Chain A
């Protein structure tokens, strides 16, 4: 199975809209599976009118641990508080109290405690599952529970889930989160191809460069989609020039079109909402396939 990840650095440039329509284009003659790796705010399936109550499976997941202090055993020596690099432990009435938002579950406190008063306990920090779309493919996704941490590990679990439900799929298409931090890094490692989506604005351009630094670090072959390219021709030219200098292939430029919002509001991928987008995404798909095949020959 070949895997393709879509990222952007900046949020709201059209990552999920483009992922959804690209997936539909691929599914026309290929077996595919999708992974929504934006686990902070998981919503790729919403573009297919699939809220979580329509999922085939949706159940709690634990990828995190948290320190639990046994008050009876604790001798109030404070060693755990000094050892916690994340400042998640503080004395409260002479007993260390764990701040659940700060605790990384690293276990340093457990190791340093001289009386074994601290143990690590698994906590449910997300929901994970999958949904079947009307287009003959499924989407694996997860949602981080409010106030929890560990998005990176949850992303890895979503990718595992996608593999599990893939049933001989030829392509895995991954929608990553905004930013360049831990969940994004977990989304892009080990993929065959990456697509960076950008828009011709100062922020879009700056964030695209950051996204490129990461995919280059992991040595992943990458293509660029400039969304809303006609919004600002000057910046589009800047992006083009940058792409040329950095040997980054531009796969497609897409016009600014309010139909994208209409399709989103109707919870239908734009490729199906407005048929003029069919050839556009077909072209993007063919270019991606050609680029991936070039890698292998």
Chain B
């Protein structure tokens, strides 16, 4: 492929993240509706990065297929070599290793983040690596729309590891698509920030309630900190007081690009698992 053609592809391809801070404001509804609408004329990859509770496949009625299992390294103790010095436990910040002098170390796999400090400190080279399963990456398809969906295994704490694997897949596959839509989790901590890594445009979906605008402010502060710009979609804009959202929008210089009215029909479609059609949703791209 010549350079010129490559450049055209690169220019056209666009990665958009949908976020919001507060849960239940309509992130997944907007992400799936936007992705599905765009897929009628473009090649679309929808990435469900709400890995704690991925739901996009439910909203689009897609049966997912497993693409790969995500593993995280954990220490394997060679107890024949272990001198019971208890150093491994003393450097473990996540308290996954409990070690007392003259006793064999006790290991709690769920607590381990794989940092490797225990292996570095062990004077006997008694620590090697093992793996634990922490999640799964799935793929799926609806008409022209491809879905990539990450899912954290229950009782595993580190959601962002799964999001990082999704980011790797995005990097691998991005040349194949016109648009990539990333649906993030609620909140504003590590897995949400990781989901912004590849995004060129970020849209925060909010609702006009004190809680909605509070959490919108939180998420826009995060964007400011990581030096990315965000725009706003107000969902159910007619249920509350829009002024507070407008204030936040002004404060962070983030435009309100779409207002979606409350609709019992959307609520019904959502509760039945039917695809949702949002009028004008396609206009938010490039805005």
Chain A residues at the B interface, C-beta cutoff of 8 Å:
9-13, 16, 38, 40-41, 43, 46-47, 65, 83, 85-86, 101, 104-108, 111-112, 143-144, 146-147, 149, 151-152, 177-185, 199-203, 206-207, 210, 213-214, 217, 231-232, 234-235, 258, 261, 264-265, 267
Contacts and interface: CB of A to CB of B under 8 A. Distances in A.
B116 A83 contact: yes
Given A10-B24, A40-B218, A41-B21, A181 B159 contact: yes
Nearest to A236: B271
A202 to B, nearest CB: 4
Top 5 nearest A-B pairs (CB, nearest first) are: A12-B24, A11-B23, A179-B52, A106-B115, A40-B187
Contacts of A111: 91, 117, 120-121
B275 to A, nearest CB: 12
Contacts of B50: 179
Contacts of A106: 93-94, 113, 115-117
Given A12-B22, A41-B21, A146 B225 contact: yes
A107 B117 CA distance: 7
Contacts of B191: 181
Interface in B80-100: 91, 93-94
B277 interface: no
On chain B, which size bracket covers the interface?
Answer: 35 or more
A146 B93 contact: no
B270 interface: yes
A57 to B, nearest CB: 19
Contacts of B225: 146-147
B256 interface: no
A180 B158 contact: no
Given A13-B23, A144-B188, A178-B187, 15 more contacts: A9-B52, A11-B25, A12-B22, A13-B24, A111-B91, A111-B117, A112-B120, A146-B188, A146-B221, A181-B191, A185-B157, A203-B53, A214-B154, A217-B155, A232-B272
Interface stretch (B1-9, B10-18, B138-146, B206-214): B206-214
B155 A207 contact: no
B113 A104 contact: yes
B250 interface: no
Contacts of A265: 208-210, 239-241
Contacts of A105: 93
Interface in B104-142: 113-117, 120-121
A38 B185 CA distance: 13
10 contacts: A11-B186, A104-B113, A147-B193, A181-B52, A181-B158, A201-B273, A206-B55, A210-B154, A261-B239, A265-B208
B31 interface: no
Interface of B: 21-25, 28, 50, 52-53, 55, 58-59, 73, 91, 93-94, 113-117, 120-121, 152, 154-159, 185-193, 208-211, 214-215, 218-219, 221-222, 224-226, 239-241, 267-268, 270-273
> Which of A105, A112, A180 is packed against the most chain B CB atoms within 10 Å?
A180
A98 to B, nearest CB: 14
B116 A41 contact: no
A119 to B, nearest CB: 14
A257 to B, nearest CB: 13
A210 B271 contact: no
A69 to B, nearest CB: 17
Nearest to A112: B120
Contacts of A203: 28, 53, 55, 58-59, 270
Nearest to B221: A146
Nearest to A180: B52
Given A200-B271, A265-B240, A43 B115 contact: no
Contact of A40 (B73, B188, B210, B241): B188
A147 B222 contact: yes
Contact of A261 (B23, B116, B154, B240): B240
> Which of A41, A104, A108 is packed against the most chain B CB atoms within 10 Å?
A41
A111 B88 CA distance: 12
A85 B91 contact: no
A133 to B, nearest CB: 15
Given A40-B188, A83-B116, A104-B115, A179 B154 contact: no
